[in-house]
Every structure is written in C-alpha cells, then in structure tokens.
Structure 1
Amino acid sequence: MDLHDIHREFEAYLDAMNLATILVPKSYRDGKIQIFSLETPHKERHPLQIERQIDLGSSMKYECIIDIPIEIGKRYLIYDHQGGVTDLQIGAVVRTVPFDDKFFYDGDLGVAYTQEQTTFKVWAPTATEAKVKLIDPKTKKADYIPLERLEKGVWTATVFGDMEGIYYTYVVCVNAVWREAVDPYAVAVSVNGEYGVIIDLAKTRIEKPSVPPLSSPTDAIIYEMHIRDFTIHPESGIMHKGKYLGLTELETKGPNNTTTGLSYLKELGVTHVELLPFNDFAGVDERHPLQQYNWGYNPLHHNAPEGSYATDPNDPYARIRELKQAIHTLQAQGIRVIMDVVYNHVYMREQSSFEKIVPGYYFRYDAYGNPANGTGVGNDIASERKMVRKWIVDSVRFWVEEYHVDGFRFDLMGILDIETMKAVREMLDTLDPSILVLGEGWDLPTPLLSEQKATMQNAEKLPRIAYFNDYFRDSVKGSTFHLYDRGFALGDFNDREKVKVGISGSVRKKHGLFLHPTQTINYVESHDNHTFWDKMEIANGHEDEQTRKKRQKLATAIVLLSQGIPFLHSGQEFYRTKQGVENSYNAPDSINQIDWKRKSEHEDDVRYVQGLIQLRKSHRAFRFTTEAEINNHLFFLETPAFIIAYHLRDVQQYGPWRDIIVIHHNQEEKQSVFLPDEEEWHVICDGIHSGTILLFSGHKQINLAGIGTWVLVKQT
C-alpha cells in the first residue's frame, strides 16, 4: 500500500524508539480499539501491547509498546482489529537521547564542489525519500536528482560536470509530506535567500593580514556597530553607503572636514569592531534594500552573508567577496572583527530549513508538546541535541576558516547549553586562542535545566567566555527598563558599592560573579534599548545639556578605566541619539544612522574618549587578567558617597607609572580629595583633557571641579 493512498482515520506517532502513541477520534468507532498491530516494511505483522489509554475528550489516546526494533526512514503501518489502517508517523522520538545517539554523524555536510563534480550531503534521518533539486538560474528549469541514504541518516548524491552557479534546494519526504528547503549548510544563496547556490569558494579566498597581538581579552576595546548605520548618513563622505565596501574606504571626510568611517575607527584607537549580524537575514528585501531597515536578528541562513549590504545582491559571489574585503581591510588597519551570531532562534520555525528537513528535532518543546519561547520570538534552538551542537560548532569554525573573523558575540547565549559553548570555545582554541567569545548570559525561560544553561550565573563553568555585565551597566547608568532610575553616573549614589564591584572586574573576591576580569563585558550602552543620551533626556531632564554631557563622559570613563573588557556602542562618544526610540530594530535610517554632523560638533568630546583609550592601552594596570592581580593592587580610598576613588598600587611592572589613582565624581559641586601620601602626583586626566600627557602636579589633595574623572600618576 502506498502511503499517499492512506486515508488516516486515526493517527499514530513514534514517540520513543519502542513507543507508539495512537490517537483515535471518537467519530471513528467511538474511539474504542481493542487491538493494534504493526506492519513492517517486509509486510510482517506484530501485535502491539497497549500500555495506557487516556480519554482526551474528543479522542482516545493509546500508548503502545513496540517490541521489535524500528528502522527510522522506512515505512510502517498500524492496523486496528477491524482492518482500519494508518501510517506510523515520526513523532517525539526525534527528541529522545537514543535517537540522538543513533543518528549522530560527525562528517561533512553541505556541498563539496569541484569543476568535475559536485557532491551533496544532507542530514535527514526521518525522511523516507530525498532529492536534490537543481535549478538553472537563467531558464528556471529544474532537475530532480534522487539522493541515496547512507548510515546515520545522511543522504547524498554526486552530480558530474561543472555545476558552478546552479541553484539548489533539498526536497524531502517525512510523514508522507514532501517539503522543499534550502540547505542548512549553504554557503552561498540567491537574492533574498530563496535558493542555495553552488559556487567555487576558492575563487573568493584572501590571506588574513597580520593583526596586532592580543595577549589577553582585557586588552580588547570593543566598538559595536551596524554595517549600514555606520556609513549611510548623507554626509558620511563614503561612496558605498550602507554597504560592506563602505567599511573599506579610507580618508573619508564628513561635515566640517570631520574624519569618518574606517579612518575614524583607526583614529579612535579601538581594537575590535563588533558588527551586528551579517549572515543572511529576513526583514530587508535585498532587491530594494533602502525601503526597509533591520538590525539582522531574523536569521535565515547562518553560513551565507546578507545580500542587502552587497553592491549586487543578485550575484551570489558579490556579497562573499565584499564581506571578505571589508573584514580584511579592517584587519589590515589593525582592527579585529567580532561577528554577532544568532544561533538561539530562527526567523520562523515552520518555514525554516531545519523544521522542513527534520521536523521537531532542532527546536525545544515544553511538557505539553508546544514550541518553547524563551527567546520571545516563537522558537528556541535545541543546542543540547548532538546534531544541533554540531551545526553550531561547524558554523563558527566556517566563519573563522573562511572569513577570518576574530571573535563571536552570541546573541541570547543563555538559551544555549554549557556543553555547546564549551565545544565552541575548545574548537576555537585549536584554531586561535585569541579569538574572543562573548555573549548575553541572561537566564531565559527555556526548557533546559538551569545548571545546563550558558548563563552569567554559570560563568565558572565557562571560564574562557565573557558575559555582558548588566549589573555594571545598571549600577553606572540606572535601570535600562525603568527610565527614571538613575545610576552613579546620573547623579545617584545608592548603587555606589555595585559600581565598585564593577570597577574591580566583578570578580568573586570583590563580591562579583566572575572567576577572572576577562569574563566581564563592561558597558553602559549597546544597540538594544535607549541610548545613554536618550535615557538621560528623561531621567536627567532637569539638567542642562552641558551637565548631561559631563555625565556621559563620566560613564564612558568608568567603562574604559575599569577592570574587564570595555565595550562602546558606536556614537556613544558623541552622544548618539535615536530620537527617543527605544527599540530601533526596524526604524528608518534617519533614526539609526551614525550622525557624522553630530560627531563634527563634538570633536573635543571624541578626543577625550580617544585619550581614555590611549590611557588604557598605555598601562596594563587597567587591564589585569587575574583576580589575584586585582586583589593585590586595587584599593578603594575613603571618600564621600558622590565620589568613587581607587588606588592602583605598586604597578610599575605593568607600565610607566608606579602608582595610579582614579577618581570618579558625580556632582557639580566642587570637592577636594585627600591623596594617600605627601609625594608628588601628576594629573593626566581631568574633566576636560585625557591621555598620557602630564597636565599639572599636586601634593596631599586634589580639587575636583564638578562632574568628571581624574587620573593621577606617580612616576617610577
């Protein structure tokens, strides 16, 4: 009997390797069945033992034990005692450990291209048939090539001849339904990601330039930016506005001859740029990219670049070559590139390649069989399953080996499991231990045991991964979610002790969460939520602009001079505003673009941040790598509540000065701070100037002229 001829009077699902769940509607024989039997692909019949019956109201549920091994991928039928028949569909068995163990495959997947032949491999263990569909991009004529099933649920075919430029998809039959899907391992796609494309990646390869050494993660100064935002402003002076190639243009100038683009990044002195997602995403029509805007957290294809940033989204090579050129050029200018990766969810579960090829496997489900939604976007990737973990590790490896990226920022990393993140870190360490891994370690409601989640609370289990530190953020700025709440930099001092924990690298001995300062990402602003400036418009609206600018400089100084890894949001250094828009993920360019005119109006403030970056780089006492160093050298001074002052003591082995004092003051009233000895101290940073040049000297005490940061040093 052909499966497609079956009219399912009742339904049967394989929910474990030895368990069939049979649902019989009461409209069929009142739902009452005495005996079920299983017919194998060889036409042998075996009686099933009914373990449990459950009345579901409109139907009866029968749980039946299967006492013969089931070959997944073959067709089985279930008969009732009166000859009624249905097919045994694949159910929750895909989410069991025995299934995972049986079908785990550790080899290559995707397309292997040569001029002579192309080999396709796709993992589809629950499919009963599978084909690769080859489409001529010019004529749209399609050929279907049957795939052969190998061990571990892998299907393959080799097609002879030069297939370069041909579009392809997989067509698989699961539970008697044919579905068409783009290869989850596709490395090139057609416009809007409609098809995978067979290409010769070797044609796009370029050598990675040498980058400045990174001896510790705390040597990194991360600058987060969106490819389109950074260059799209009408006065950016950049030719390829909003494109990958916009990041390759040097010596560009904006209003009032201000430096823009790549040359500005170099001038600023940051070590890493963190680029919002640039894998292929939904939300922008690549044929008309300027008609829509998106941050990029709607992943479609994780191993192919986004086309809206390419000069020609119709040419599958253009986006690859241009992205590689952008990364290469940044690195050639001494700037490493961190990729923002979104492995925690897909854009739409039902339409995703994962769900079409192996339904039910790649996502988490709750106890009632509903898709989990810890991410808030309708699906949670089940990273704890072996082939999901393999896909994530393979993908990260691909971006390092093929595009030479220098780090990964894991979106909603707390959704992922610890074992997967460990596997990622261990794999990267075999390639280049200086590759950074950082992520959002929020604890989200996904059906995974809390001790298995890659959350900030479990940081000790992932010592080589860094976490966005929301305690640092909120104690300096005030709550991100309560706009009127003010942190230390906004003039409050209730969270003063928490700020001191943050300054100390949030290590355990200083009442923080982390084993080492290399685990904390210190920040007060990112692409998410209100910009610092927009929050202050509300929380500190009673103050004039000049005072608020001092507060923002104070907050940025706290970020750059604290122990840990500093992180700046692009434009933070010149008071970036999104006109009060909190979540600008799809807001127009007028809201999201970097405003180079605004930068030109705040050159002194930009120079101040530049000076702080230079100061951080000049002395390793700002960049300790261990908890022990912090305990041995960092001491807080006794000061009034609106001042935080600390002494980096006996640090001559780390740089040019023996002792350093940093003072953060959050009130406009003038104040004096007594120095810890009577020796001469040299001021290198005050509320207006920063850097490594001596501004003036003093003894015994220093006068603070309002809100700001002061740094004093003692020569060796």
Structure 2
Amino acid sequence: MLVISRQYDAFLDTFNSITMILPYHYHEGHSSHFTLIKGDERIALHIEEKIPLNDAMKYVTTIQSEKIILGKCYEIVDEHDTRTDLQIGAVIRTEEFDQRYYYDGHDLGVTYQDGCTVFKVWSPTATEVRLKLKSPDDEEIQYPFERMENGVWECRVNTDVEGYFYSILPCINLIWDELIDPYAKAVSLNSEWGVVINLDNAHEKNKPLPALTSPTDAVIYELNIRDFSAQQESGMKFRGKYCAFTEKGTTTPNGFSSGIQYLKELGVTHVELLPVNDFDGVTDNPSDTSYNWGYNPLFFNAPEGSYSLKPEDPNERIRELKTVIQCLHDENIRVIQDVVYNHVFIREDSSFEKLVPGYFFRHDENGLPSNGTGVGNDFASERLMARKFIVDSILYWMNEYGVDGFRFDLMGILDVKTMTAIREEVDKVLPGAVLIGEGWDLNTPLPPHQKANLRNAHQLQGIGQFNDWFRDTIKGSTFNLYDKGFALGHGHLEQKVELVLTGSVGMSSGERGLFKEPVQSVNYVESHDNHTLWDKMKACLNEDEEILKARHSLATTMVLLSQGIPFLHAGQEFFRTKKGIENSYNSPVEINQLDWIRREKFDNVVQYVKALIQIRKSHGAFRFQKSELIREHVKVSHSQANLIDVLYQNVHPYGPWDEILMVFHSDTKACEYTLPEGNDWICLSDGNRASVSGLYDLNEASITLEPVSSYVFVR
C-alpha cells in the first residue's frame, strides 16, 4: 500500500464540517484560516473551535455554502499556502451519509452472463475503482469501473469470464488498495481471489423444506462438519468432509448406526451446522492439521474450502455443500446455518474496511473501533448498507442452498431493527423458518433498547434466544466451573426450575418472564462453547460414574421435555467429552471429533433420548406455542428440595393423553412420592428407559423415586 506524506491532515467529518489536525512541529500547530479548493473555486472555511491535543492542534471548521460531493477530489490550503487532500473522516458514520448513499438494488457482486458479466460494488468514498481479472492461464488484465448512483460502481466485461479470478481495486484518500468482493459467491484456494462462477453449473438450486407448524416442534442438533465424521471409527469414508453426509448405511466397528442414518434414527428435526462459509484459522490444504470451528469469518457467501474434497474447485465446493443440505432434506431433516455477522476475522484486512473505511464497523466515543465481540471489531448492523449485506446474505443462502433456518452468533451485537428485518424477509421465502441467536448483552456502542439481546426479547417476536436462565439453573454457571445447578444436586433452585421448565414466560398473566412466548426460549445445557456437561460434572462432582450418568440424563430429559425449543449438542446423548478442555475452538481434531465408540458404549442412553424425542413429538402439550396455553394447562410445584413436578391437565385436545405428570428428582437419596388422585397412570419414562407406548401401568397411590431420576406418567 502506498503511504502518502502530508504535513497536516484534513478530514470530512460531516457534510458541512472539516477537521484539521496540525502537528506542533508544523508552524507550532498554528494556522489562522483554511480554504477548500474545489476545481477552480476557493471556498473559505470557518474555524469554529481549536482543541489542543497531545501532539497536535485540532481545528473544527465548517463550510456554509454547499455540501461536499463524495467521489470527487478536494484540497485544503492554509495561510502558509500548504496544501493537503481532503480525506474522508467520520462523515461515513452520519445518518445523512446513510440516507444519501443507501442502495436498494439486488445486484451487488457479480451477475454472470454468457456474453457479459457485470461487477458491482458499493464504495461511495472511492474516487476511482478498477477490476483486476486473472484468466485460467494466469493472464491479468484490469478494467475501470464507472461510478453510478448512490455510491455504486459498475464494470461490464463483454466476454465470457466464467472461472476467472477477480479482485477489486478502490482508490480512497489517494491510496489504492486491493480486496475481494464481499459479495463473492466463490473464492479461490486459501481465499486469495474471488471467482466468477455460473451457478447453473454448480448444482441446481436447493429449496428449503416446509417449515414446521411451530418452532417448538423443532429438536435442534448442533454439529460441526469436520467433527461429525473425523474419527476413523465413524465408519465414514470421507472423514471430516462435506461428502460424509452423502454416505448411507454407515456403521461403527460393532455395527451401530452412524452418520446421517444415525441422525435420522435419533429423530431430530433440525441439524444446526457450525459455520460453513469461508473462514480463517485453517488453510484449504488437505495436509493442514490446524483446527478451527469457523468463527473467523472471511467471506460470508462462499463455502469453506477445508471441508471440500477439491478446495481448488469453487464449483465443487458449492456442489458438495448443496449436497449436504439435500441429503439431510432427503431424510426430512432441516438445516440451520450458524452465521457470524457480528464481526470479521481481522477488521483492517477485511473487504468491508477497504471498500468504505470506517463505515461497516462500530466506533466508540473516541473514534476507536469497539470490541464487544472480544475479537477486535463489531459489525455495525444498524447502518443501512451493513444491514442490507446481512439480509442479502441470508436470502442468498435460503434461495440458492435451501437453508431452512439460521442461528446468529453473538446476536446481542446486532440491532433489533436488523433482526426484525431478517424475520420479515425470511418469512417471504419460508414463513415460520427457525431463527435463533445468542442474545448476550455485550459492550458495544448501541443504545441499550436497540440491542438484539435477551433484555429486549419482547421486541424480537419470532426469534428464539439461547436461554442462559435455563442452562445455568439446570446445569450451573458456565463461567464458574464449580457452580452446580439443579440436575447436579443443588437444592433451593426449585422456583427457578419451575420458571425455566415452563418456557421462561412467567406463570401468571401479570408476571413478566424472560420471554413473551415459549417459541423464543432455546433450552440447552451444553453447546460447542464451554465445557461439555460431562466434563463440567467430572470437574465439580466427586461422585461415581453411575450417578454422573444419571445426572446427565436428568439434565437432557429436562431439555427435551420443557416448554420451548430443545437444543442438543452433538454427542450429548452419549456423554460427550472433550477431555476437560473448556474452549476447544482450535484444539486438535482428536479433542473435537465425535466419539462414535462412546455412541456404541452408551447405546442404551441413545435409545432413551430417542424415545424422549418421540414422546415430545407425540403430544402437542409438550410443544405449546402460546404462553396462555401454558398458564391454562400447566401446574408446577415442589414439595421438597431437589424435587419438581409438572402436571398437565385437560390436554387431550393436543394429543392422546388428558393428563401428563413429569417428576424431576436430583437428590442422591430415594424418596416416596404421592401421585395425584384419580385413574391409574401409565409410565412412559423412568429416567433410564422410555417408550411412547408405555413401560408399565401404575395403580398405586405412591411411588418410590430412585436417586437422581425423572419420570413421565400419563393418563
């Protein structure tokens, strides 16, 4: 990058104000007047304020006569007759900039045609833009872009350039830079170029499956492409690759189902894929043993290469990822894509920062990039073209790949308007598609009421949020390894348990719960982040393994049979362990891979979880969409510590039984429990076994609850 030498700097901070920074070594930081040079015209600037800085004097000036037009070159001259170029400053973060340069077209990026390929980028602050094309035989040629309206630049190449590599070269503040189109649908090996592709040759479009009647009908299973099949004992040939999902009938060494057949048998409705868009942390070289979950996003619309059998072939990457989704669809399993629009890998190197410096990322009151994400940058979703990029990207994945829903990483960084716009646009394609996100309250410079977080859940109807009340009440704090929740034996949490088992909506009409409706509560006790439940228990409980397994099963049972959306981490159903590692995002495959030997070893627990899923699906009372139905039909109580019962009454309109009684017992001592009076009960689950058709009839007035157990009775 060329470095420009300036004796002092001038920045356009609004369309009517220019800030000068004069170092003290330049005439002691002193000038009495400044003039804007616009072609042959000279326009006096009014000095409004002088502010001494540590190493320079800051002058705030205004221009009264007319507004600056971006895309043109201006100069400033002072009383010493020293000139400097007018650089683009904080003006790009003004509302006027957003309104003036918002572009509502749907053709940013590359529009491929046989005879003419059109390239469009949005870069209002650029004074020139060029296209660099590299042919398959490595010949490079450049074409100029033409500036259009609203800060959009267009380049038409009147020849067939399918398969060509391309990059964008903008000139901003007299400096040329080079970047890959942020709208690129394909990238070259190791993300060095954008690639012109004909999507018609990259497998036909996928279509999403019809949405379920309600998000609470979903059972979500979170997995990573590589983790799923990486282990040799997985029985899959294409270990760690997209193509593992195409393999049918795979088994573990002892003949237990694995792969996509296993997912089908388990009965989950949705698979949530950790990021599959292009990310850093792993190269595309098959011999690279580096590991990364994928939360270092590079290009949001292009498939990751390290999961492909042919990462050097952009079309093959697309075909393989589309096939993953189609193979899951063929088994009636929907796909939720984990998306990371809250940040980029490295802000300074990102295409967004190079195209419109300072626009796409939030800055604090001192003008420095904010860091609510903890990775050095926060994407400014509240700005119109940033919001547009996110919405455009979401719609592309739905319309081209057939994605059925989305999970938003660190959704609390995004703003309410953006998430509402996503909900509205997604519903035009697939009404009722599952949208969920991490609504953590993060330290990013947005007004509190604008953050898409748990505190503002009532503004985010139709969007589910990971319920940390549920997680921490049942399991114990994620941030304190030794904190224990109800399932781990911590008594005196019963009132909190009652709340989270019933969707966290509040059990009286006047009580404000965390959520307005149960469809907003994503219930979970483990995910890819933090310790697995098994590893947390091993660290903080000095109990024998049989009790630990009972506690684990109790927690998973509570996830699957609570009001809201149940969420399972892959392998949770067979006590997944990462050998005690808390944050395994870059740990070796040996730590992160799904252990199919444990799937064999604990098949009885797998069958138990499978039966619980069937029980959940069999009766609508487990899956109420509306909070008033929970308040009408559900009664939760606790008669002693470490014991909760949940009674559903008059629910025959929603399924085969009129009454459902669930009992959750986390004490290590057995106890007597008196059943509600009335007809005999049928036991569907005793914490070790479960069957939707019933395990046994119960005609006694009371039952002995086993240590650390759960029960489901119906009549």
The reply to whether TM is greater than 0.5 is yes
One-letter amino acid of the counterpart of residue 20, structure 2 = I
Aligned counterpart, 1:576: 576
Which residue, 353, 358, 361 being the options, matches 1:360? 358
Change (3 A) 1:187 1:332: same
3-state DSSP of counterpart to 1:291: coil
The superposition leaves residues 324-382 of structure 1 with CA deviations (integer Å, 9 ceiling, x where unpaired) of 00100101101000000000000000000001111000000001111000000000000
Distance 1:678 1:13 in 2: 80
Are 1:591 and 2:591 an aligned pair? Answer: yes
1:300-315 to 2 correspondences below 5 Å: 300-315=298-313
Aligned to 2:472: 474
What is the aligned partner in structure 1 of residue 677 from structure 2? 677
CA contact (8 A) 2:499 2:507 kept: no
Please tell me whether the aligned partners of residues 184 and 301 of structure 1 are also in contact (alpha carbons under 8 angstroms).
Answer: yes
Aligned to 1:515: 516
Aligned 8 A contact 1:679 1:700 in 2 = no
**1:435 positional shift:** 1.1
Aligned 1:25-44 pairs, distance under 5 A: 25-40=23-38, 42-44=39-41
**Which has the larger displacement, 704-713 or 361-370?**
704-713
Within 1, Cα distance between the matches of 2:612 and 2:565? 14
Q: CA deviation at 1:688?
A: 1.7
Q: What is the identity percentage for the equivalent residue pairs of Structure 1 and Structure 2?
A: 51
Q: Which residue of 2 aligns with 1:10?
A: 8
Q: 1:373–1:207: structure 2 CA closer, same or farther, 3 Å change rule?
A: closer
**Residue in 1 that maps onto 2:120:** 121
1:544 Cα deviation after fit? 0.4
Q: Residue 372 of structure 1 aligns to a residue in which SS?
A: coil
2:634 paired residue number: 634
Contact preservation (8 Å) 2:284, 2:306: yes
1:500-528 CA distance string (max 9 Å, x none): 11101001345521110000000000000
Answer yes or no: is the 8 Å Cα contact 1:7–1:86 preserved in 2: no
Q: Which residue identity lines up with residue 610 of structure 2 in the other structure?
A: Q
Distance 1:508 1:171 in 2: 55
Q: CA deviation at 1:209?
A: 6.5
SS at match of 2:554: helix
Aligned-residue offset at 1:638: 4.3
Contact 2:206 2:322 in 1 (8 A): no
Secondary structure at 1:256 match in 2: coil
Letter of the structure 2 residue corresponding to residue 53 of structure 1: K
What CA deviation, in whole Å up to 9, does each residue of 1:478-502 have, x standing for no partner?
Answer: 1111111110000112322111111
Matches within 5 A, 1:170-569: 170-206=168-204, 208=206, 211=209, 214-288=212-286, 290-509=288-507, 512-540=513-541, 542-569=542-569
Secondary structure of the equivalent of 1:181?
Answer: coil
Give 1:7 shift: 4.5
Q: Report the equivalent of 1:24.
A: 22
In structure 2, the partner of 1:63 is 60
Q: Are residues 207 and 390 of structure 1, via their aligned partners in 2, closer, same or farther at CA, if it must alter by over 3 Å?
A: closer
The one-letter code sitting in structure 1 at the alignment partner of 2:460 is: L
Q: Partner letter of residue 704 of structure 1?
A: L
Structure 2 residue identity aligned to 1:605:
V
- SS of the equivalent of 1:131 reads strand
SS of alignment partner, residue 245 of structure 1: helix
Distance 1:5 1:442, change over 3 A: closer
Distance in 2, matches of 1:594 and 1:57, equals: 56
Q: Does 1:607 align with 2:607?
A: yes
- How much does 1:220 deviate? 0.2
The separation in 1 between residues aligned to 2:588 and 2:638, in whole angstroms, is 48
- 1:213 offset after TM fit, Å? 5.3
Structure 1 residues not aligned, in runs of 5+: none
Q: 2 CA distance for matches of 1:387 and 1:232?
A: 39
Tell me, yes or no, if the aligned pair for 1:131 and 1:170 is still in contact at 8 Å.
Answer: yes
Distance 1:230 1:178, change over 3 A: same
Cα 1:584/1:326, change in 2 over 3 Å: same
- Tell me if structure 2 keeps the 8 A contact 1:22–1:63: yes
* Cα shift readout 1:575-622 (whole Å, capped 9, x = no counterpart): 000000000000001100000011100110100100100100000110
Point out the more displaced range, 284-293 or 601-610. Answer: 284-293
How far is 1:82 from its partner?
2.1
Q: Provide the C-alpha distance between the structure 1 equivalents of 2:74 and 2:589, rounded to a whole number of angstroms.
A: 55
Distance 1:525 1:26 in 2: 57
Q: Once the 2 structures are TM-superposed, how far is the Cα of residue 290 of structure 1 from its aligned partner?
A: 4.1
What is the rounded CA distance, in whole Å, between the counterparts of 1:639 and 1:509 in structure 2? 18
Give the drift of 1:289. Answer: 5.4
SS at match of 1:62: strand
Contact 1:475–1:487 (Cα < 8 Å) also in 2? yes
What is the deviation of 1:640? 1.4
Distance 1:630 1:509 in 2: 8
State whether structure 2 residue 57 is matched by structure 1 residue 45: no
In structure 2, distance between residues paired with 1:289 and 1:684: 50
Q: Distance in 2 between matches of 1:444 and 1:137?
A: 46
Q: 1:209, 1:197 → 2: CA distance?
A: 24
- Specify whether residues 209 and 359 from structure 1 end up closer, same or farther in structure 2 by C-alpha distance, changes over 3 A only: closer
Within the alignment, does 1:109 sit opposite 2:108 as a pair?
yes
CA gap of 1:210–1:33, structure 2 versus 1, over 3 A, is: closer
Distance in 2 (CA, whole Å) between partners of 1:638 and 1:299 is 46
Distance 1:179 1:647, change over 3 A: same
The one-letter amino acid paired with 1:709 is: S
| Cα distance in 1, alignment partners of residues 77 and 219 from structure 2 | 66
Q: CA deviation at 1:434?
A: 2.5
CA distance 1:17–1:662, shift in 2 (3 Å): same
More displaced stretch, 484-493 vs 345-354: 484-493
Q: TM-score scaled to structure 1, two decimals?
A: 0.97
Native 8 Å contact 1:211 1:332 kept in 2? no
| Paired AA for residue 55 in structure 1 | P
Conservation of the 8 A alpha-carbon contact between 1:281 and 1:306: yes
**1: distance between equivalents of 2:207 and 2:346?**
38
- Native 8 Å contact 1:633 1:651 kept in 2: yes
Deviations 1:600-654 (A, max 9, x none): 0011010010010010000011000000100010002442111110101010001
Q: Name the structure 2 match of 1:691.
A: 691
**Pairing 1:709–2:704 present:** no
Question: d(CA) in 1 for partners of 2:10 and 2:636?
Answer: 68
Report the CA distance shift for 1:6/1:496 in structure 2 as closer, same or farther (over 3 A).
closer
Matched, 1:624 2:621: no
Call closer, same or farther: CA 1:51–1:289 in 2, change over 3 Å.
farther
Q: How far apart in 2 are the matches of 1:688 and 1:174?
A: 66
Equivalenced residues, count: 708
1:420 and 1:213 map into 2 onto residues whose CA distance is 22
1:162 equivalent to 2:160? Answer yes
Give unmatched runs, 5+ long, in structure 2.
none
RMSD: 1.3
Q: CA deviation at 1:669?
A: 1.6
CA contact (8 A) 1:684 1:691 kept: yes
Partner amino acid for 2:191? G
Whether the aligned pair in 2 keeps the contact of 1:109 and 1:121 (CA below 8 Å) is yes
Contact 1:530–1:583 at 8 Å: present in 2 too?
yes
Please give the alpha-carbon distance, in whole angstroms, between the structure 2 residues aligned to 1:505 and 1:433.
22
Residues 639 and 673, structure 1, Cα contact 8 Å, conserved in 2: no
What secondary structure, in the 3-state scheme, does the structure 1 residue paired with 2:682 have?
strand
Distance 1:209 1:597 in 2: 35
Determine the structure 2 residue equivalent to 1:700. 701
How far apart, in 1, do the equivalents of 2:357 and 2:254 lie?
57
For 1:35-63, what per-residue CA distance to the aligned partner results, in whole angstroms no more than 9, with x for missing partners? 100001x2200111000001113211100
Shift of 1:232: 0.5
Q: Quick one: distance in 1 between partners of 2:428 and 2:207?
A: 19
